[in-house]
Amino acid sequence: MKKTIFLAAGLIFSVSSQAQTQTQIFDILRSAVKTKTGVDLGSTKTQNPTNSTTTGSTNTTTNSNSNINLGSFTSTQISSGLKEALNLGVKEGVQKLGVTDGFLKNEAVKILMPEKLRKIDTTLRSFGLGSLADQGVKLLNRAAEDAVTEATPIFTKAITSMTIDDAKNILLGSNNAATNYLQTKTQTQLFTAFQPKVQASLSKVGADTVWKNMISKYNAFTGQAVTTDLNEYVTTETINGVFKMVAEKESGIRNNSAMRTTSILQKVFGAVKK
């Protein structure tokens, strides 16, 4: 083989010195190598485009099998899809919670006796005052049902301010990525806005009076002095309830095509195959 290569190189040098054209050089080299080795240099060269095509085809196949195909959507469409999903989640969540028994009869968000006051519940029941304890829990939920409508404008502002990059990251994120985004953007605002509303609602539904009576009786029975900040507790639990409902809606839209009730939801979330 080495001898053949040297012969070919010598032939090229000899012919080059005689001012042969590049095409002639290649033809002579091709003929000599094919005669000695059986290898057709022209055939080998023409295989390169085929290899390139094959590689390109492989890449295309890989891309088409990806779980995410957003190439046909503009950034505006992606953003619109996310905002619509969040708006639906907030609207439906608030509507379901802001009615009688919206909190009380929904075990996922029902506000229970504050943990540090559970002993009050047990003590009152032991003295035959279970109905008073039940009334206290019921009125906590009534206050939340009355106050929850304050969430809508705060959520709407946060959704409107969502950037294109936010939307893309959320779309490709976890089942509750949009809810987490909303929580990060609105938690402090919601608490500040809810506190006075919850305080007013506690008074409106009579929760303040009932809880004062409950704690007074407990203290009398046990000789202890128990106090609690109902306003802070109910405010926090109301906000948590709203986020649970929004997360439930978001997960449904992502995973159940039947819940994508508009064309933009169908297109954008349909492109992300979980």
Phi, psi of 185 (to 5 degrees): -80, -25
- Condensed to tens digits (0 to 9), the pLDDT of residues 205-229 reads 999 899 888 888 888 888 887 777 8
Dihedral, 164, 166, 168, 169 alpha carbons, nearest 10 = 160
Mean pLDDT of 129-157: 90
pLDDT at position 175 is 87
Give the 3-state secondary structure of residue 113. Answer: coil
Both tokens assigned to 257: 């095509």
Q: Which residue has the higher pLDDT, 27 or 185?
A: 185
pLDDT at position 12 is 41
Mean pLDDT of 57-77: 50
Domain boundaries, the chain: 2-64, 75-270
In this predicted structure, the answer to whether residue 79 has a pLDDT above a threshold of 70 is yes
pTM of the model: 0.68
pLDDT at position 42 is 54
Are 70 and 153 contacting, i.e. CB atoms less than 8 angstroms apart? no
Mean pLDDT of 83-107: 93
Are 268 and 145 contacting, i.e. CB atoms less than 8 angstroms apart? no
- Condensed to tens digits (0 to 9), the pLDDT of residues 6-40 reads 444 443 444 344 444 445 545 654 555 455 445 55
Q: Identity (one letter) of the amino acid at 215?
A: I
Are 251 and 91 contacting, i.e. CB atoms less than 8 angstroms apart? no
